[in-house]
Amino acid sequence: MPLPPATTPLYNHPLHAIERWLEDLGCIRDPKDVEQWFCERPQWKACLRLDETTIWVRYTYQDGNTKTLSFPYSLSRGDVEQAIFED
């Protein structure tokens, strides 16, 4: 089943579609916590948490600095993808 259009708010995506989207972006689900995902890019590592109304992202950069951001499910999948994964 295809994902809804990227302009669709995340709250209009079924959970399995959000999970597949994260997998397609190279994220790996934490086997001990189904709400937590991990992702790595050349410049950072991130822990993503799928809460009830928000996706929380905690980045750890190569220099050891960290940053935590949150994105409400009212944002479109495309906007969230750009905000989280674009370097």
Nearest to 6, CA basis, from 66, 63, 56, 79: 79
Structural domain boundaries, residue 66: 10-85
Q: Give 10-48 pLDDT, tens digit per residue.
A: 999 999 999 999 999 999 999 999 999 999 999 999 999
Tell whether 58 is covered by a domain.
Answer: yes
Q: Total structural domains in the chain?
A: 1
Both tokens of residue 83? 């905000």
What per-residue confidence (pLDDT) applies to 43?
A: 93
Burial of 36 (0-12, 13-18, 19+ CB in 10 A): middle
SS3 59: strand
Nearest to 60, CA basis, from 48, 78, 52: 48
Nearest to 45, CA basis, from 73, 85, 79: 85
pTM of the model: 0.90
Tell whether 80 is covered by a domain.
Answer: yes
